[in-house]
Amino acid sequence: MNKDNSTQKLTFGIIGTGKMAETMMAAFKLLPGTIVSAVASSSQERAGQFAKQFGLGKAYGSIEALLADPDIQAVYIANETEAHGKTVMLALKAGKAVLCEKPMGVTETEIQQIQAEVERTGILCMEAMWTLCLPAYRKFLELLQNNAIGAPIQLYADFGYPADITSHPRLFEPSSGSGVLLDRGVYPIALALTTFGTVSGVKSWTKKTEFGVDTHATIELQHQNGCISQISVSIEALLQNRAVVSGTNGSIALEPPVIGAEALKIEYFFSEANQPEYPSGNLTAKLKQALKQCSLLRRIKQYKNSAMSEFHSYSANQYLPLLKHFSELLSTRQRESDIYPLSVSKQVLQIIDQVKKSN
């Protein structure tokens, strides 16, 4: 990575040295006009190893040391989930723009504190809800906004595949940041709020381990506009990993894998009331009757239906659209994202808090 700061527009520092920090480094390398110059960890040794691995010039053994670096304009926060809220506050108070790995906090109160600090300082702060920045998601929401399937009625979205404690120990450790709701539930809940807006009612069922860690959840959201969202998330079961909005004239689906989706499926409904009626002896009527009785013809019809597929690629890296969006916000001196504002981050945690308390 280029270390010549004089030719760069934006200099990032990374807080955390785990899997997501490593993953995001590949996306940062593809973002023009941006460098990552430093990393911070609670361990100087881990920070040094990370810096060596990715060719960073500075390695700090504390968050405070990195935040005191005058060369750093923005930070990407990817430390422990339960530390996100506190770290965001430290960064904002230090005058650094913030892109924080989801969830930005583990309670609604933490997000409220962050909102107040952003209001006070005017510094850009965004939760890294990268899925909503993907081209397929942007097209999905655009089609709904343009009434492509008529009036929307319902969203069904799920995200789940089996995980085990050996490969994902932090998911299962009893803590304020563990469990499926904060790790996976935030994605479909964020999509539901972005699609249908504010929620007026929540119903839920949650499965937990003997230590109280949520591993599977089903949630029904009643939105103020009258729409319904049905959500399932799991670290126990393989779900469909799909999101579908159904409307009066059809449906739009983000095809699997919904996290990182590139494919859309759009299906239109043609009412039988609008189809011409044929006399029973008519050739067309006979063909329709034969279709109902022949499995081969029914199979052919299944592949030749009204559904259309579209492919909207995120190109080389699925996290790059998020980084481009954040960089544009920073260059235009915005304090929060129009794609995923802090108010929606707060609503997501409100819902998760309610689900946890009700179970």
Q: Which CATH number is 61's domain given?
A: 3.40.50.720
Dump pLDDT digits (tens) for 83-128: 999 999 999 999 999 999 999 999 889 999 999 999 999 999 999 9
Question: Which of 235, 253, 271 is the last residue in one of the domains?
Answer: 253
Contact 79, 54 (CB under 8 A): no
pLDDT at residue 168, as a whole number: 87
Specify the higher pLDDT residue, 300 or 134. 134
Of residues 176 and 200, which shows the higher confidence score? 200
Tell me, yes or no, whether 323 and 208 share the same domain: no
What total number of domains does the chain contain?
A: 2
Residue 262 lies in a domain: no
pLDDT higher than 50, residue 240: yes
Residue 157 and residue 107 share a domain: no
Neighbouring C-beta atoms of residue 297, cutoff 10 Å: 14
Q: Are residues 190 and 83 in the same domain?
A: no
Q: Is the pLDDT of residue 198 over 70?
A: yes
Q: What pLDDT score was predicted for residue 242?
A: 98
pLDDT value of residue 194? 98
Nearest to 353 by CA among 85, 104, 109: 109
Alpha carbon distances (Å) from 343 to 78, 123, 134, 298, 352: 21, 16, 20, 48, 15
β-strand partners of 207: 216
Burial of 299 by CB count in 10 Å (0-12 exposed, 13-18 middle, 19+ buried)?
exposed
pTM attached to this predicted model: 0.89
What average pLDDT is seen over the chain? 91
How confident is the model at residue 295, as a pLDDT?
Answer: 75
274 lies in some domain? no
Give pLDDT, residue 293: 77
DSSP strand E in 74-130: where? 74-77, 97-100, 125-127
Q: Domain range spanning residue 13? A: 5-128+319-346
248 pLDDT band, cuts 50/70/90, is very high
Residue 83 located in a structural domain: yes
Both 117 and 221 in one domain: the answer is no
Residue 281 lies in a domain: no
